[in-house]
Amino acid sequence: MGLDEILGEQIPRRKFLKRTILGGAVLAGAPIFSSLLSNGEAQAQDEPLSGMFTREGLAQIIREALSKGGDFADVYVERIFVTTIAFSEGRVESVKYGLDQGAGVRVLKGDQTGYAYSQDLELSSIVKAARTAAVIASGPAREKIARLSVRTSMNCVPFALNFLDVKEKEKVAIVERANAAARAVDPRITQVKLTYEDTIDSYVLANSEGVFVSDELPLIWITVDAIAADNGKKRPGYVRVSGRSGFEFFNRNSPEDAGRKAAKQAVTMLDSSPAPMGEMPVVLASGGGVMFHEAVGHGLEADAVKRQTSMFAGKVGQVVGSDNVTVVDDATIPNLRGSFNFDGEGTPAQKNVLIDKGVLVGYMNDLITAKYLGVPPTGNGRRESYRNYPLVRMTNTYLAPGSLEPQEIIEATQKGIYAKDLGGGEVDTASGDFTFGVREAYLIENGKIGAPVLGATLIGSGPEIMKRVDMVGNDISYWPGTCGKGQWVPVTSGAPTLRISRITIGGRE
Amino acid sequence: MSTKSVSKWLLENLMSAGVQQAEVFMQEGSTLQLEVREGKLESISQAQMAGVGIRSIVNQKLSFVHTSDFSKDVLKQTIKKAISLAEQASPSEFNKLPAESPRKMVMEIFDPEITSISIKRKVELLREMEAAALKHDPSVRRSEHVGYSETSGTVGVFNTNGLSYSYDASSCHLGVSVVAERDGRMETGYEERTSCRFKRLPSPEELGKEAARRAVLLLGSRPVSSQKVPVVFDPQVGFTVLAALAQALRGDNVNRRMSYLGDRVGDKIASELVTIRDNGRLPQGPSSRPIDSEGVSTSDLVLVEKGVLKDFLYDYSSALRAGKKPSGNAVRGSYRDLPQVGFSNYYMEKGSSKPQDIIKDTANGLYVTKLAGWWLGLNPASSDFSSAASGLWIKNGEFSQPVSGVTIASTVLDMLAAIDAVADDLVFKGGISCPTFRVKEMALSGPDA
């Protein structure tokens, strides 16, 4: 899938909604984003201030960015409305709301990046940021800047109920439902702590090659931390549910299910014993994608390949896993936490097969690494916010499902561990050593799930473990996460039930 | 409008809109990040930022709003929002703001020169750091990350109880990570330092060499098989035990009965070699501040003294609930965050042993120089600790082969109780600090022989 640019003058699929700090209808005085219309001028009802985001305003910023030479420049203007509810001990501790807005200007000169951002959205302030970013270069001004034309894409993140139109009372109700369900699971549940957060993220991006995109993305998550206590022992249970949906998310993702799941995990783990030590087979329940995110995902981000700090550098075409292993990164899966329509550089979201039946076929790229490797961009140039320049990041990374029934995989395992729920993980891409955590696990004895064991850290080396994936189920699901690499982006990691024939477990018995 | 007058305006308007107590947290300043690779500037990122976070208490209910837009109309709307939001929260008698005015304190946490030192000079520092690392050993092939970052600005806390305090602060950070290679396998090592003052950063050569040394020592590393052994923690990784204990030491978690340390003040929870402190006033401490992020004076708190649990950390509201004095431990990431209980200069006090003597005294065990995944599954309710580990095997009191591909596991409480040697090599590098120490026994898990 290459660039999908629509020349000509089209109205962006998503217009910026005119929102004020209250999130209601237009009020005078608040900075407004405008959409580009066929004649390139602001809509009639815009405030006088809003001329800054006309074609000419954006072009001015880009020209200033390239005023000292430079090969490329982009400007990213963003407004984020966020609502957060903190709930514990059966009550709403606090309700939080904020508007975070700013504009970041990036200039590339060869291998060098200059970046500056401003929280003030006056054109003059963004132009000043552009001038600051420009100092990475030191030559004559770039004269030729491509005319901006709107790029559209398919809509991977359709949503119905904008959070700004939903009363806080209804959001509190969601948290209360999850709390009530958690507490009802067992009298040994002594504490439940919940967080709700919703975000509406609107942005505009324009670059010196004439790309213009705009979009509005929702993101929602709730976390439930439950504590079960018995005989002086306390055990935690945890669930996070998240997606890029509007408030209708909760029609398909029941708060009660989330609450119950966290509470059940806590109660189950009250009976757990310490995990065993040594190497053994491990069956990961559906949703164990974190392993792939760490074992191969980061190593396949092309910036590490370019720097030669990834053990996957130079291995395209080589076998890096068993033939059960097909790993994909796909930002187009509808409404997942890691999905979007354009990455942070305006490249449309796409599906990228990274490993195909065990053979490494490609890396994830941003514009810089794509150019370096001489390949098309893959839509992985993401940024946390206007405060950051883009880096190669994952989106929804998953092991493609196979054909086995999950039960078959458990029954085929004489002795080992069943990892029902994973925590996060980390990796050293140079050595290939990765780790991931297990929140809820059980012994497998004679092909049956047995006693619960305490969460442990599992470790391995990327390709070595990938070659030991010997059974893959048909039941894929996606685990919501947040990936850190100097800046944070929302992702999912997906996998069906699968078995690793042998892996070291950080237990203590 | 100056920061003070904006705050005054906000507080007045909040009060007249019906808020009983309100707090304005102002933050403004500049940031700079630089990265160097192969002797050249790779990226530079700069910004000026300013923002305000407002806590409002209306009928004992708490709301929080933030914005970076200081135009009067937006601020008026922000106030309206703060009030309508509070309605959705639940009342609590502990929703109170500090009333005491902190005493003015002069702390050397602001470097007036830092923003005027040229970018060229800072880039030069990074080039020297990278060069020193690459020069250290022929196996050190390339750098992974060579970065400088700095923040400089003003923080102000103002509330309707008459509290009004602002101070300047700056912080700079050097970090270097390099790759060593042998026989087609790569290992990494890193070192970093945070300081309030540019001139107090250690020499770039020192940091570069140390990062290189840590990478080279792991070359050729192999796993060992599962066994229970003593583990000696190098200071760069020993902090993880303190980090694991941290959530359980938070007074708000204790109040919510989510901490495995709840009810244990006065109990011996560690060996008598262990004293742990959180000192917000540490001279030249990288996280020292005159006030916390609610305006309460910071303090030097002994959390664990010779193994005995003395105290928890509190912010104003959790202290009120627990019937304790607030310790000045309210922390925020930025003006966009509500304050919550957090740490400042959090560290294990140095002991009297020499690190080399601890090694000599270890017949058979692991000297850990790198931990990964230690933070997974950490929570205040249960104290399990399990981490990937790399380092050097100790045999008959001497370093022998490099080790990786193993895990070490125990519980935090078992580890603290089993600390049987603490060295005198404590250095405050930023964040959590500790000297070299040894844990008498941990479960080391590796592949079958």
Domains within chain A, CATH numbers bracketed = 48-268 (3.30.2290.10), 277-506 (no CATH)
Please, what is the Cα angle at A393 between A390 and A398, to 5 degrees? 160
Q: What is the mean pLDDT of residues B343-353?
A: 97
Q: Any chain A CB within 8 A of the CB of B318?
A: no
β-pairing verdict for A433-445 and B164-182: unpaired
Q: Any chain A CB within 8 A of the CB of B76?
A: no
Same domain, B51 and B189: yes
Q: Which of B223, B222, B205, B208 is nearest to B177 (CA)?
A: B208
Give the pLDDT confidence score for residue A456 in this predicted structure: 87
Helix (H, G, I), strand (E, B) or coil at A346: coil
Same domain, B167 and B89: yes
Give the pLDDT confidence score for residue B449 in this predicted structure: 64
Domain-ending residue, one of B324, B348, B372: B348
Residue with tokens 């916390």: B292
Q: How close does chain A come to B123, measured CA to CA in Å?
A: 12
Positive or negative, the Cα torsion across A263, A265, A271, A277? negative
pTM: 0.93
Q: Any chain B CB within 8 A of the CB of A456?
A: yes
DSSP A300: G
Positive or negative, the Cα torsion across B40, B214, A305, B387? negative
Alpha-carbon dihedral angle through residues B215, B217, B221, B224, given to the nearest 10 degrees: -120
Same domain, B320 and B434: no
For B142, the closest of A92, A308, A424 (CB atoms) is A308
| CA distances in angstroms from A183 to A89, A141, A227, B319, B327, listed in the order given | 10, 65, 10, 27, 33
Give the pLDDT confidence score for residue A455 in this predicted structure: 75
Query: Which string of DSSP letters, residue by residue, matches A226-256?
Result: EEEEETTEEEEEEEEEEES--TTHHHHS-HH
Please, what is the Cα angle at A57 between A51 and A60, to 5 degrees? 160
The answer to whether the CB atoms of B43 and A277 lie below 8 A apart is no
| Chain B CA closest to residue A91 | B90
| pLDDT score of B102 more than 70 | yes
Cβ contacts of B46 on chain A, cutoff 8 Å: 115-116, 132-133
How many CB pairs below 8 A link A and B?
273
Same domain, B181 and B314: no
| CA distances in angstroms from B52 to B23, B64, B78, B86, B158, listed in the order given | 10, 11, 10, 18, 11
Q: How close does chain A come to B424, measured CA to CA in Å?
A: 30
Same domain, B34 and B159: yes
Domain-ending residue, one of B348, B373, B401: B348
Q: Any chain B CB within 8 A of the CB of A437?
A: yes
Q: What is the mean pLDDT of residues A301-312?
A: 96
The answer to whether the CB atoms of B85 and A168 lie below 8 A apart is yes
Cβ contacts of B186 on chain A, cutoff 8 Å: 309, 311, 430-431
Same domain, B327 and B437: no
| pLDDT score of A320 more than 50 | yes
What proportion of chain A, given as a percentage, has pLDDT over 90?
84
| Chain B CA closest to residue A30 | B74
Cβ contacts of B387 on chain A, cutoff 8 Å: 435, 457, 506
Give the pLDDT confidence score for residue A48 in this predicted structure: 26
- Of B309 and A232, the structure prediction assigns the larger pLDDT to B309
Neighbouring C-beta atoms of residue B103, cutoff 10 Å: 9
Q: Which of B57, B61, B69 to mutate to test the interface with A (most CBs of A within 10 A)?
A: B69
Cβ contacts of A279 on chain B, cutoff 8 Å: 446-448
Domain-ending residue, one of B290, B315, B348: B348
Task: State ipTM.
Answer: 0.95
The answer to whether the CB atoms of B185 and A431 lie below 8 A apart is yes
Rounded-to-integer distance, Cα A469 and Cα A467, Å: 6
Same domain, B55 and B98: yes
Q: What is the mean pLDDT of residues B66-72?
A: 93
Same domain, B314 and B361: no
Residue with tokens 């990784």: B237
When computed from its CA atoms, the radius of gyration of chain B, rounded to whole angstroms, is 24
| pLDDT score of A29 more than 70 | no
Residues A18/A32, Cβ–Cβ less than 8 Å: yes
Instruction: List the single range of A36-40, A134-138, B285-289 with lowest mean pLDDT.
Output: A36-40
Residues 6+ away with beta carbon under 8 Å from B175: B145, B146, B147, B190, B191, B192
Q: Chain B window 209-228: which residues touch A at a Cβ cutoff of 8 Å?
A: 218, 223, 225-226
Q: Return the CATH number at B165.
A: 3.30.2290.10
Q: Any chain B CB within 8 A of the CB of A335?
A: no
Give the pLDDT confidence score for residue A145 in this predicted structure: 86
Q: What is the mean pLDDT of residues A255-282?
A: 97
Q: What is the mean pLDDT of residues A36-55?
A: 38
Q: Residue A303: which pLDDT band, with cuts at 50, 70 and 90?
A: very high
Q: How close does chain A come to B72, measured CA to CA in Å?
A: 9
The answer to whether the CB atoms of B386 and A119 lie below 8 A apart is no
Same domain, B269 and B327: yes
The answer to whether the CB atoms of A114 and B43 lie below 8 A apart is yes
Q: Which of B338, B447, B312 is nearest to A93 (CA)?
A: B338
Task: Please tell me the total count of domains within chain B.
Answer: 3
Residues B33/B148, Cβ–Cβ less than 8 Å: yes
Query: Please, what's the b/e burial string for B115-130 (b: 16 or more CB within 10 A of its CB; e: otherwise)?
Result: eeeeeeebbebbbbbb
pLDDT tens across A355-384, in order? Answer: 999 999 999 999 999 999 999 999 999 999
The answer to whether the CB atoms of A118 and B47 lie below 8 A apart is yes
Q: Any chain B CB within 8 A of the CB of A57?
A: no
DSSP A295: I
B397 in the Ramachandran plot: left (φ > 0), alpha (ψ -120 to 50) or beta?
left
Q: Any chain B CB within 8 A of the CB of A114?
A: yes
Same domain, B210 and B331: no
Which tokens sit at A153? 């894409």
Q: Chain B window 32-51: which residues touch A at a Cβ cutoff of 8 Å?
A: 37, 40-51
Q: How close does chain A come to B381, measured CA to CA in Å?
A: 6
Q: Which of B293, B373, B111 is nearest to A436 (CA)?
A: B373
Rounded-to-integer distance, Cα B364 and Cα B440, Å: 11
Instruction: List the single range of A14-28, A434-448, B417-431 with lowest mean pLDDT.
Output: A14-28
| pLDDT score of B298 more than 60 | yes
| Chain A CA closest to residue B61 | A94
pLDDT tens across A141-197, in order? Answer: 987 789 888 898 889 999 999 999 999 999 999 999 999 999 999 999 999 999 999
Q: What is the mean pLDDT of residues B20-44?
A: 97
β-pairing verdict for A498-506 and B21-37: unpaired
Give the pLDDT confidence score for residue A493 in this predicted structure: 97
Q: What is the mean pLDDT of residues A458-482?
A: 96
Q: Any chain B CB within 8 A of the CB of A26?
A: no
pLDDT tens across A326-359, in order? Answer: 999 999 999 999 999 999 999 999 999 999 999 9
Q: Which of B207, B193, B205, B185 is nearest to B141 (CA)?
A: B185
The answer to whether the CB atoms of B404 and A96 lie below 8 A apart is no
Give the pLDDT confidence score for residue B391 in this predicted structure: 98
| Chain B CA closest to residue A29 | B73
Same domain, B256 and B232: no
Give the pLDDT confidence score for residue A16 in this predicted structure: 35
Q: What is the mean pLDDT of residues A26-43?
A: 30
pLDDT tens across A416-456, in order? Answer: 999 999 999 999 999 999 999 999 999 999 999 999 998 78
Q: Any chain A CB within 8 A of the CB of B92?
A: yes
β partners of residue B111: none
The answer to whether the CB atoms of A233 and B382 lie below 8 A apart is yes
Give the pLDDT confidence score for residue A35 in this predicted structure: 35
pLDDT tens across B154-206, in order? Answer: 999 999 999 999 999 999 999 999 999 999 999 999 999 999 999 999 999 99
Same domain, B10 and B111: yes
Mean pLDDT of all residues belonging to chain A: 89
Q: Which domain holds residue B357?
A: 220-241+350-445
